[in-house]
Structure 1
Amino acid sequence: MTVEESKTATKSARKPLRVLHITFNMGIGGTEQVIRQLVQGMTSEGVKSEILCIDGHIGPIGEALQQSGVPVHKLARKQGFDWSLIKAIRKRLREGRFDVVHCHQYTPWMYGWLAALPTRTKVVFTEHGRFYPDRYRYKAMLINPVMALFTPSIVAISEATKDALVKYEFIPRHKIQVIYNGIAPLVRDNDEAQKVRDSLGIPRDAFVVGTVSRLDPVKNQVMMLRAFKQFSEKQPDSYLLMVGDGPDKAKLVSLAEEYGISARVIFTGFINSPVHYLAAMDVFLLSSHTEGTSMTLLEAMSLEVPAVATRVGGNPEIIEDDVTGILVEPGMAHPFAEGIEQLHQNPTLKQSMGQAARLSFNTRFSAGSMVYQYSKIYSEPDPTPYLLHGSTDEIKNG
């Protein structure tokens, strides 16, 4: 047997790694997209993945994964602290004989960590973003350092998120690793993008700015509308394309009418696959109060669409100001409008920024890079002290 044949035989004989992802649900959002990329990206490596949603429903991304053969489970978390949820998660860990439980966001980490305590399952925690405004919780000061001590791998999706975990969650800095979100690059189809413009009644020579996002107060699309109003007063051939849905939609529609720009602000509602809508934009807008690693920003970069974004959270780590996009201070409508105007007035700059954004995406934010880094974490030995775990026989006997 050759060396290569020996390696192949060893790999095929090795027990497949089993990973359970715990999250709130698998609706539409950045966290859900990351989980999907991890599940699909590790299939070729022989990793067997399942997903557990703890908020009582699965959501469209989860349903799509179910249809492709990925087991997706749901549990209904009760109000208050739900001790029964810990028991149910522990039962799933033992029945599935999982090697790793990957907890996405803080609450799934807390429940997943407690459930895994008497098992041999390795705990991985990823913080995907922060609430706005961020705040201290005194209970975190007591609980989180203990949880962190006995969690082998803690991941933040940006340096800004890592700083927040240290400041607000009292997690030691040396325990936190940064892994940027990654996605598969989108493929531009200019003919399909033009069909989107035509279907929405946008003139072919119009300048289109837009966003793909949940319409939510934390995204601060109110400021985006104010900025577009200022920009469109100078450039009446412009359109704002708002792809998404959420609790702020009615407010934003009303505000567009109040500003007198409703004829040129298009609300599409939720679009399951918005690639051609993104490609129909000349400039991508991100006006959030806070961000981790925006998946739609990465998608825009992969399509060579430059962005005007607020200088918050992980955005400055993704966008190099005046190179791959334009950064402005949060909540400032006038500078935001000026950023749009700068790209409108200089098509050469807009093109060069788009090309630089695409290059940066390929170098730093590919799905392959993210999957590789997590696969290393999954396969590393668990240094958690043995005293926290039950014996292997206990798990096998359930």
Structure 2
Amino acid sequence: MTVEQSKATTKQAKTPLRVLHLTFNMGIGGTEQVIRQLVQGMATESVESEILCIDGHIGPIGESLQQSGVPVHKLARKQGFDWALIKAIRKHLREGRFDVVHCHQYTPWMYGWLAALPTSAKVVFTEHGRFYPDRYRYKAMLINPVMALLTPSIVAISEATKDALVKYEFIPRHKIQVIYNGIAPLTRNETEAQKVREELGIPPEAFVVGTVSRLDPVKNQQMMLRAFKMFSEKRPDAYLLMVGDGPDKAMLTALADELGISDITRFTGFINKPEHHLCSMDVFLLSSHTEGTSMTLLEAMSLGLPAIATWVGGNPEIVVDGKTGMLTETECADSFARAISDLASNRQQYCDLSKASVKEFTRKFTQERMISSYIKSYEGSGQRNTS
């Protein structure tokens, strides 16, 4: 090998892997937070990332990434099956010389897979969660096994999500890898947490339970309010903190009035960086009908905030019942209230769960662990685009 050839080989070896994240939009949600973690975390790992939104708008997380210098693009998907969208994605893949197209959720996978067929870009598909209730789509029985066969890397964010892909999407189990979501741990700041309580009119000595979530039917927050009503009757210093916004806000506000707990319930609306609100809580609540890997649950764990969650989806893979938190049935407000009461009245158990949740987070759910797993997936499925 000549010196020139050696230099060329070295230069090629150092060429960054180029990844296009294909998603609906970069609004507010767990999928969008995962994409943000991947893009920002991989910036120092010789991975160049761009984002392409197919629903015609970018959203606040995307706009924030744009301001930090990350290229975020958008296309407007038409109703029905949009053949023009396939061509537009394909054009973007070729012009951007992308090695990998990372498709987040099923519809982006379908469009990304078709767009990538005649290009050298390799496809990675991540299923971030399932609709509630889940259902069979018999067209999937014919299409998905073919797509799966020609998709080098298929990722589920929990074993429960993997099981759903096998059962409802007819994807062979051996094709699916589980990569748990991961985050950078939050830092507790007691001074800022007390400021949050003051601003919300919550006494410093109050016992605060709460959640950070979309106010959405799938999150089952009606049950949370009813359970809190039961708990508050036994605990006069109790407050409920609801951080988030969504289609159920008006209904939940009205329900709090109906239950007579509106004076001890705080609806904050959307908070861009809710870590201080989390720190102001004593217990984190997650009452969902279904979950993949809840990012806010991971944030709570990283702070050592004991969690009470419903026994659905990926929650039992995150919360070890009785060891790192507590799990209850989905539709049982009585058991949810009883779990809150048990945790509030047993200081030793509270401290034990707090310490164990931090250890479990560090063991399984760090940003570094998730990024490392995805980079291996990219390198295994990706082929450097030198054309």
Bin for the TM-score computed over the shorter chain: over 0.9
Give the superposition deviation at 1:282. 0.3
Q: Which residue of 2 aligns with 1:224?
A: 224
Structure 2 gap segments, 5+ residues each: 1-5
C-alpha distance in 1, partners of 2:235/2:380?
Answer: 55
Q: 2:179 matched to 1:152?
A: no
Q: Which residue of 1 aligns with 2:346?
A: 346
Q: Which residue of 2 aligns with 1:362?
A: 362
Q: Which residue of 2 aligns with 1:300?
A: 300
Q: Which residue of 1 aligns with 2:67?
A: 67
Give the superposition deviation at 1:12. 8.1
Tell me which amino acid in the other structure corresponds to 1:336.
F
TM score, norm. by length of structure 2: 0.96
Cα displacement string for residues 135-172 of structure 1 (whole angstroms, at most 9, x for unaligned residues): 00010000000000000000000000000000000000
Q: Which residue of 2 aligns with 1:389?
A: none
Tell me which amino acid in the other structure corresponds to 2:48.
K
C-alpha distance in 1, partners of 2:312/2:381?
Answer: 35
Q: Which residue of 2 aligns with 1:265?
A: 265
Q: Which residue of 2 aligns with 1:204?
A: 204
Cα displacement string for residues 245-288 of structure 1 (whole angstroms, at most 9, x for unaligned residues): 00000000000000000000100000000000000000000000
Q: 2:256 matched to 1:256?
A: yes
Secondary structure of 2:55's counterpart equals coil
Tell me which amino acid in the other structure corresponds to 1:183.
I
Query: Does the CA contact (< 8 Å) of 2:124 and 2:381 recur in 1?
Result: no
C-alpha distance in 2, partners of 1:11/1:199?
Answer: 55
Q: 2:133 matched to 1:125?
A: no
Q: 2:308 matched to 1:329?
A: no
C-alpha distance in 1, partners of 2:185/2:262?
Answer: 33
C-alpha distance in 1, partners of 2:309/2:270?
Answer: 21
C-alpha distance in 1, partners of 2:178/2:268?
Answer: 34
Secondary structure of 1:331's counterpart equals coil
Q: Which residue of 2 aligns with 1:388?
A: none
Give the superposition deviation at 1:204. 1.3
Q: Which residue of 1 aligns with 2:108?
A: 108
Among all aligned residue pairs of Structure 1 and Structure 2, give the percentage whose two residues are the same amino acid.
75
Give the superposition deviation at 1:348. 1.9
TM score, norm. by length of structure 1: 0.93
Give the superposition deviation at 1:68. 0.8
C-alpha distance in 2, partners of 1:164/1:17?
Answer: 31
Secondary structure of 1:93's counterpart equals helix
Q: Which residue of 2 aligns with 1:30?
A: 30
Structure 1 gap segments, 5+ residues each: 1-5, 384-391
Secondary structure of 2:58's counterpart equals coil
Q: Which residue of 1 aligns with 2:19?
A: 19
Give the superposition deviation at 1:13. 5.0
Give the superposition deviation at 1:14. 2.1
Cα displacement string for residues 1-55 of structure 1 (whole angstroms, at most 9, x for unaligned residues): xxxxx9xx94785221100000000011111111011111111111110000000
Q: Which residue of 2 aligns with 1:277?
A: 277
Q: Which residue of 2 aligns with 1:386?
A: none
Cα displacement string for residues 166-223 of structure 1 (whole angstroms, at most 9, x for unaligned residues): 0000000000000000000000001100110111111111100000000000000000
C-alpha distance in 1, partners of 2:350/2:87?
Answer: 54
Range 207-216 or range 24-33, more displaced: 24-33
Residues 12 and 87 of structure 1: is their aligned pair in 2 closer, same or farther, counting only changes over 3 Å? closer
C-alpha distance in 2, partners of 1:327/1:69?
Answer: 41
C-alpha distance in 2, partners of 1:350/1:86?
Answer: 52
Query: Does the CA contact (< 8 Å) of 2:100 and 2:124 recur in 1?
Result: yes
Query: Does the CA contact (< 8 Å) of 2:123 and 2:381 recur in 1?
Result: no
C-alpha distance in 1, partners of 2:240/2:268?
Answer: 11
C-alpha distance in 2, partners of 1:237/1:257?
Answer: 18
Query: Does the CA contact (< 8 Å) of 2:26 and 2:58 recur in 1?
Result: yes
Q: Which residue of 1 aligns with 2:312?
A: 312
Residues 11 and 213 of structure 1: is their aligned pair in 2 closer, same or farther, counting only changes over 3 Å? farther
Cα displacement string for residues 66-97 of structure 1 (whole angstroms, at most 9, x for unaligned residues): 11111000001001111100000000000001
C-alpha distance in 1, partners of 2:192/2:205?
Answer: 16
Residues 124 and 13 of structure 1: is their aligned pair in 2 closer, same or farther, counting only changes over 3 Å? closer
Number of residue pairs matched by the alignment = 380
